[in-house]
Every structure is written in structure tokens, then in C-alpha cells.
Amino acid sequence: MPSSLTWADVDPAAHPFTDAAVARCAPAGDPCPETSWTDAMTAGLVAHHGPWVAGWRWARDEGEIGGGPITAWCCPEHSVTTPAETLARVDAAVREWRAWVERLAVEFDRHPLAGLTGQEWAHAARSATTALIALVVDSTTAGDAWYRHCAQVLTWYLTRWGVNSVAAGQWVEEAIGGRFGSWIEPAPSVLLDVAGRLSDSGP
């Protein structure tokens, strides 16, 4: 499941990508509107590209795997049509997911934490948290279960800069503290509160 992916799994610097090679990765036979087909499609893509590609069907709102940033793919019932159209949608979704993690990598690098402590670390983390939450809200339109991916992205950011993954997950969970909900864009005051709580967790 894409919700279990770590930054090491998806970091574009560690996983080169040029061609989605969807046709070569597809299961035998014509696509069918069932989860078993998309599971097999995912298995083929992961075998070819590595685990990062598993996010290709993490759709916005209530898709096959809801709460993600993907618009090119919804679910087998709506996205599986003719073989050519279906594989084109898979290709578009793979590229959309790749573009998303590359965008995150750029944003992470804009807010480095390496070598920082105390107030410097807190300031950088607060700025990054505010920017990243806004980015996830925009990408997911704060739809169904968007906050799960938001928590993952914040954890990815911290681990990107050397925070232990267990500690990073705990800090993020405590900072969010149930303040985010489906179909609700966080108020600026809530966003700032979460950013402040997370920035207070560091060294």
C-alpha cells in the first residue's frame, strides 16, 4: 500500500525513472474492472521500477485507494475501459505520482535541517511544515482521508533530513493530534498550531 512507503522507497534521487513501460508491466489478458487487475498491474510496475511506483493509484477523494494526489486514475470501475485507454491512464498516473514525489523532493531541499539545532531547527521545521501542509491540501483538495498522506509527507520530510523514522512518525502524529479531517481544509490557525507543535519536537 502506498501509505506504507518510506522516503527511502520513493526518493527520486535513489530511483531513476525515464519510461513507465506500462505495456511490459501489465498482467496478461485485457484489463478488467476489478481490484485483482490493478493489484497485478501494481506488482508488475513495482517489479520493474521498485516500490516507489506503488503510489500510482493513490487517487484523490474516494478512489480505489483514496486520500492521495492522483487525478489520472480513479478506480477499476471508472478507469478501466478499453485496453489502450486503460494502459494510457496507468501511464499517466505513474507519471503524475513521479512528478509529485519529485516536487516533494524539491520542497524538502528548500528547507534543510542538516546541522541545525535549537531555534534554527525549529524555525526551519515550522516553515517547512506550513509549506508542506499547504502543498498536500492543494494536491489532494483536502478530500477524503487526505490527512493520512499529509502525515506521511511530513514524516518523509523529517526522515529526509536524518530524523529516525520512528521518532519522526511519533512527532508528526502528536503534532497533528486529530486536528485534520476529511473534506475539511485546515484553518490557518490550525495549520500554524500543528507547525508550531512539530517544530517544538526537534533537537
Query: Hey, what's the cell of 85?
Result: 485507454
Give the pLDDT confidence score for residue 202 in this predicted structure. Answer: 83
Residue 48 contacts residue 94 (beta carbons within 8 Å): no
Contacts from 132-140 at CB under 8 Å and sequence distance 24+? 132/104, 132/107, 132/157, 133/186, 133/191, 133/194, 133/195, 134/191, 135/103, 135/104, 135/107, 136/69, 137/185, 137/186, 139/69, 139/100, 140/60, 140/67, 140/68, 140/69
Last residue of a domain, one of 74, 102, 130: 102
The reply to whether 138 and 93 lie within a common domain is no
Q: What is the pLDDT of residue 158?
A: 98
Distance CA 97, CA 10 (A): 10
Residue 11 sits in the same domain as residue 82: yes
Q: End of a domain among 54, 81, 102?
A: 102
* C-alpha to C-alpha distance for 88 and 94, rounded to whole angstroms: 10
Block means of pLDDT (10 residues each) for the chain, length 203 residues? 96 94 95 94 97 96 90 95 97 98 98 95 97 97 95 98 96 96 94 95 84
Q: How many CB atoms sit inside 10 A of residue 135's CB?
A: 17
pLDDT reported for residue 63: 84
**Number of domains making up the chain:** 2
- How many CB atoms lie under 10 A from the CB of residue 114? 9
94 and 116 assigned to the same domain: no
pTM to 2 decimal places: 0.95
Domain end residue (candidates: 51, 70, 102)? 102
Same domain, 68 and 35: yes
Same domain assignment for residues 75 and 135: no
Predicted local distance difference test score (pLDDT) of residue 153 = 98
* 8 and 94 belong to one structural domain: yes
Clarify whether residues 67 and 21 are in a common domain. Answer: yes
* Cα end-to-end span (Å), the chain: 31
Q: Same domain for 93 and 6? A: yes
Residues 90 and 128 in one domain: no
State phi, psi for 76 to the nearest 5 degrees: -55, -40
98 shares its domain with 177: no
Same domain, 64 and 141: no
**Separation CA 7–CA 52 (nearest Å):** 9
- DSSP β-bridge partners for residue 201: none
Query: What values do phi and psi take at 20, rounded to 5?
Result: -65, -25
Structural domain including 17 reads: 2-102
